[in-house]
Amino acid sequence: MMLGVVNRFTEERSSARWTSVHRLIFVPIFRSSIVNANLCQRESASGKIANFFHENKMISMSATAKTEKRIANRSWQQVLAATLCVSLCLGLASDAIAYTPEDPVVQQMINKGVKFLEGLDTKGMSHAGSPMLMGYTHHKCRHDPDAAIVKQGIAAAKRYVGKAQESGRLDHTGMYDLAVCVLLFAEVDPVGYRDELVLAQKLLLDSQMPGGGFGYPGDKMGDVSQVQYVSLAMWTLDRNGIPLNYEKVVSCLQWILRVQDTQGAWPYHGVDPGPGKPNIAQTNRVGISMGLAGGSSTLILGDALRLWGDTTSDENDPGIAGLPKAIKLFVEDSNQNRRKTAKISKEPIFSSIGYLESWRAKNPYKRSGLDWYYYILYTLERYESFVEIARGLPKDSSPDWYNRYVDELKGFQDADGGWKDRSHTQAPESTCFALLFLIRSTQKTIFSLSAGSLEGGYGLPKDTTNIRVDGTQIKGKAIATQVTDLLKILESDGAGDTEGKSLPDDLELDPTPAGRRAQIDRLERLLRGSRSWQARRVAAKLLGKSDELRVAPSLIFALSDNDKPTRRFARDGLRFISRKFEGFGMPDDPSEAEIDKAQREWRDWYRSTDPTYVFLDYDL
């Protein structure tokens, strides 16, 4: 029976349809085996991290030794049988549990979640930070600064920092709200909102407690949860070149190290034993939520201090398309000299994370009842991403922990796209945390705030008219092949280091018929098939300016693109080419019904010019 199943699996797994059949048939059968295997992998991963710190002479991990002893006591037959069973189960289930943020299943979850956020009314929300968190999450997912939800978030953030400056104090949840303001300003436009970032930095650092921690106004004990958000804000300010007092960064790091529980996790409110004294047993809500928050804080602040070297560039980044990998755009580190005043080593951080991993191996997380599930997942993604760069590991787009929780989130997502099940966070916040986990927001941010990328405000010049690749140099003089050079960038793997919105109006296609035809063909392929939202934006804008009737079907196709600016470029291009400057009434932020109506009417218009044309994406 099993042999027949395996044969069928081998014969049919190449079929596209087999993926869904595979999940339906094999996942229920082998679910318990997969869960056990994942737990083994979780323990193994914890052991590897602990061993890494042990090899650096940080700590010794007794848990690892005990595990090795238990394995040694088993007979080799038992080990072989268990290995074969796990290998078979994992092999059969690999397609079912391996996800990346680009996986169609994950993308569908993200699209539904974003739509849920877009349908919420931010007015009158009980938490001041909710509109800002929603705007930040939406921009992380859609990269559209003109989206209504992003504009509402920015407006709320501006009001918040202005009010805090005027009153000279923060409200009860001020540390959280101010940190989210920093994330939002830096995500949308760190140059345009530099004044707001500088103000937020001052408000944050002025609120630091004497011992180095951060907490609620009037409290004498620091709050590990709030310190995590402040740490992320400090790191974001550092990466965007906002001047920082790094002695305060070190003070915060030393505080979080001192309040770690002796068993390895962290408390909610930490009792500080004081500088130079050993850690003590903490009693205030010690657990996985604060454990990950504390661990994240140490790694985030350590990275801001560059304790494990310069992590602002991605070793796996191909660089600027069309140029050798070694050539990257230089981004000046304006905080370099200030950072030299910080005096602390990486060893205490690695030791601290080793203890945390030992605790996690003994206390694996499983959701049970009312807890901070969505907050924990968001924090977990941040923690694991910073562990990667602290250890110098390559980016892993499909780790075991990600696969596990994608499956869980899929089950918890409501029909309307939100995550609204019972939790300590409300539906808007839960949905934001779920989306930020699904898109691997921290991993994306770490490697986008570096040379060669525009997401954090760095990278190729916004005026891409003058880009020309010449050997090993980027030259700025506009020449006839400028669009071809731009296409080289857009067609590269992971491309999109430019924005369609930033293209000047005088960017022109090749004047020769053959060259122009080749460029248009490539742009149409990008518009219909590129995974890069930047590439689709550029393609839609250039095709819309081409005044070529034959590109209309591709622009009609793009009216339903997930990226709103791409839709707008396609709509405006159709209006220009058709000379119907009012179009067919499709607004900037259309509903699905309005998109369907516009596409239907544009198809009818195009058939009036070419009755024989067949729309492959619609007619067949």
Q: How far is CA 181 from the centre of its chain?
A: 17
Could you report the per-residue pLDDT of 481-493, keeping only the tens digit for each? 456 656 666 655 4
* Average pLDDT of span 312-341: 55
- Record the tokens describing residue 37, joined without a space: 């295997």
Check if the beta carbon of residue 313 is closer than 8 Å to that of residue 451: yes
Residue 454, domain member (yes or no): no
What pLDDT is attached to residue 489? 61
* 146 and 211 assigned to the same domain: yes
Neighbours of 224 (CB within 10 A): 31
Q: Are residues 271 and 136 in the same domain?
A: yes
User: Would you say 176 and 229 are in contact if contact means Cβ atoms under 8 Å apart?
Assistant: yes
270: helix, strand or coil: strand
Q: Which domain holds residue 410?
A: 104-317+327-448
435 shares a domain with 473: no
Flag the least confident range among 23-32, 43-52, 210-219, 599-608. Answer: 23-32
Same domain, 378 and 516: no
In a domain, 332, yes or no: yes
- Regarding whether 119 and 49 lie in a shared domain, the answer is no
Rounded average pLDDT over 180-206: 95
Angle, helices 224-239/288-304, rounded to nearest 10 degrees? 30
Domain-ending residue, one of 73, 97, 121? 97
**In the predicted model, is pLDDT for residue 275 greater than 70?**
yes
54 with 174, same domain: the answer is no
Q: Which residue among 79, 97, 115 closes a domain?
A: 97
Q: Does 406 reside within a domain?
A: yes
Q: Please check whether residues 85 and 146 belong to one and the same domain.
A: no
Residue 9 lies in a domain: yes
Contact between 537 and 563 under an 8 Å Cβ cutoff? The reply is yes
Which is higher by pLDDT, 330 or 216?
216
Of 46 and 283, more confident: 283
3 state SS of 266 = strand
Inside any domain, residue 602: yes
Bridge partner residues of 223 (DSSP): 269
502 plus 432 within the same structural domain = no
Query: Quick check: 288 and 280 in contact, CB under 8 A?
Result: no
Measured in whole angstroms, how far is the alpha carbon of residue 61 from the centre of its chain? Answer: 32
- DSSP 8-state assignment for residue 210: T
Tell me if 601 is assigned to some domain. yes
Tell me how many helices (H) and strands (E) the chain has.
24, 4
Compute the average pLDDT of residues 591-619: 86
| 332 in the same domain as 405 | yes
- Domain count for the chain: 3
| Average pLDDT along the chain | 78
Q: What is the DSSP letter of 468?
A: E
Is the domain of 374 the same as that of 471?
Answer: no
CA-nearest of 94, 100, 125 to 9 is 94
In this prediction, residue 88 has a pLDDT band, given cuts at 50, 70 and 90, of very low
Radius of gyration in angstroms for the set of CA atoms belonging to the chain, rounded to a whole number: 26
Same structural domain for residues 88 and 142? no
Q: What residue type is assigned to position 338 of the chain?
A: R
